[in-house]
Amino acid sequence: MNILVLGSGGREHALAWAILQNPKCDRLICAPGNAGMAALAECADLDICDGSAVVTFCEENAVDFVVIGPEAPLAAGVADRLRAVGISCFGPSKAAARLEASKAFTKEICAAVGAPTAAYAHLTDAQAARAHIRANGAPIVVKADGLAAGKGVIVAMTEAEALDAVETMFGGAFGSAGAEVVIEEFMDGEEASFFVLVDGETCVAIGTAQDHKRVGDGDTGPNTGGMGAYSPAPVLSDTIAEAALAQIIRPTMAEMARRGMPYQGVLYAGLMIRDGLPRLVEYNVRFGDPECQVLMMRLGAQVLDLMLACAEGRLDQVAVNWADDHAVSVVMAAQGYPGDYAKGSVIAGLEDCPDDSFHKVFHAGTRLEGGQVLANGGRVLNVTARGATLAEAQARAYGMVDRIDWPDGFCRRDIGWRAL
């Protein structure tokens, strides 16, 4: 098969690596890709949110299957365009991608089926939002309705902070994404991520993970896109995972199908767990980044078979083969991230890192110039390892970090601490 992966981050590098292990893959193309993906596949310069351009590219290159990594092309309807011309693809339709693109939509679907989640109000003007906050008090959570690159959520510990957030959002800080807000009850507990493949009907769990969103050790400092992840997440036990499927995921997926917008692809459920009970924080319509890196490390080549079964509506016939293993991914970021940072510094020592089914350095934001790997983003490398225990995986990952010679980069030294 000829397979196209859309995206340019560590998530897509990990997907490409896993797909390439599978003998069904004859030719792999990544668009636009990065320096890491260029080492294992062809890279194509393509505007991945332009459905017509993606369709034309697939026709010209006899692409059989497209894997869509990020949310932007999904929200832009690229999956719909591909399916309309008979090209198989992994990822939800534009209508179903609203589960990530509109927080109010997700809350309404949850309410329709009684799925456990925070109580909420959907407000379209600042005055009503302020009144709601004064009536409910803090802590309280203010969210821009639309996609805001991970920055549209304010967990306000005081009423003043919540009122400020309302001013910011209705003031246009998030453009049209903030023209409507969702204000939620604050949920206490431990967060974990649950990944489920859905083919419109059948839901198959493919793993759990925990992200580290704060930039500093011990979960301090500003929020980021994610500084590291590990899988499995022990807080998301089999019992809690089954409860999340029974009470949240299967009912909401059935509601989507009932409304004529069946969900097809990977569903990323962010859960808040307290007293053994899961509640939904949010849905994302794609793999997490860097959660995908640890999942791919653990699942390996079977991922392609699972994604094909998902796209072809055959998930009722698959089984996921789990090894009793653990994986850790440490994000190396450019100094200054998540604030201002410089691009273009040289990364050396990558060739000294072991590279096998237990050790992988996925590239998140890199480019090649004159045979050197240069930093080309905020999150730059995802140093990922697998082991029989979490401690072994963590030691392997930091062993690789210590071989990488990149003075302009940094990482957290405690990825996995909650589970250790």
In the complex, the residues that contact ligand AMP under the rule CB under 6 A are: 118, 141, 143, 153, 155, 184-187, 191, 270, 281-282
Dihedral-angle region of residue 125 (phi above 0 means left; psi in -120 to 50 means alpha; beta otherwise)? beta
Provide, rounded to whole angstroms, the least separation between the CB of residue 69 and ligand AMP: 18
Please report, as a single letter, which amino acid is at residue 295.
L
118, interface contact from ligand GLY, ligand AMP, none, CB < 5-8 Å by kind: ligand AMP
CA 124, CA 126: separation in Å to the nearest integer?
7
Q: Which residues within the stretch 254-313 sit at the binding site for ligand GLY (CB under 6 A)?
A: 284, 288-289, 291
289, interface contact from ligand GLY, ligand AMP, none, CB < 5-8 Å by kind: ligand GLY
The reply to whether 69 sits near ligand GLY by the rule CB under 6 A is no
Nearer to ligand GLY, 184 or 282 (CB): 282
The reply to whether 145 sits near ligand GLY by the rule CB under 6 A is no
Provide, rounded to whole angstroms, the least separation between the CB of residue 279 and ligand GLY: 18
155, interface contact from ligand GLY, ligand AMP, none, CB < 5-8 Å by kind: ligand AMP
Token code pair at residue 105? 């939509």
9, interface contact from ligand AMP, ligand GLY, none, CB < 5-8 Å by kind: none
Nearer to ligand AMP, 272 or 296 (CB): 272
Provide, rounded to whole angstroms, the least separation between the CB of residue 16 and ligand GLY: 17
Nearer to ligand AMP, 249 or 310 (CB): 249
For residue 334, give the nearest of 361, 354, 364 by alpha carbon: 364
The reply to whether 211 sits near ligand GLY by the rule CB under 6 A is yes
Q: Is 105 helix (H, G, I), strand (E, B) or coil?
A: helix
Provide, rounded to whole angstroms, the least separation between the CB of residue 287 and ligand GLY: 7
CA 254, CA 164: separation in Å to the nearest integer?
38
| H helix runs in 66-224, sequence order | 71-75, 78-84, 98-101, 103-113, 126-136, 159-170
For residue 397, give the nearest of 192, 227, 236, 195 by alpha carbon: 227
Provide, rounded to whole angstroms, the least separation between the CB of residue 52 and ligand GLY: 28
**Residue 58 parent element (H or E):** helix 51-60
The reply to whether 226 sits near ligand GLY by the rule CB under 6 A is yes
Q: What is the DSSP letter of 138?
A: S
* Bridge partner list, 143: 153, 182
Nearer to ligand AMP, 252 or 376 (CB): 252
Nearer to ligand GLY, 33 or 225 (CB): 225
Nearer to ligand GLY, 51 or 228 (CB): 228
Please report, as a single letter, which amino acid is at residue 308.
L
With b meaning 16 or more CB within 10 Å and e meaning fewer, what string describes 129-150? bbebbeebebbbbbbbbbbbee
Q: Is 26 helix (H, G, I), strand (E, B) or coil?
A: coil
CA 346, CA 376: separation in Å to the nearest integer?
10
Nearer to ligand GLY, 165 or 269 (CB): 269
Contacting residues toward ligand GLY, per CB under 6 A: 211, 225-226, 284, 288-289, 291
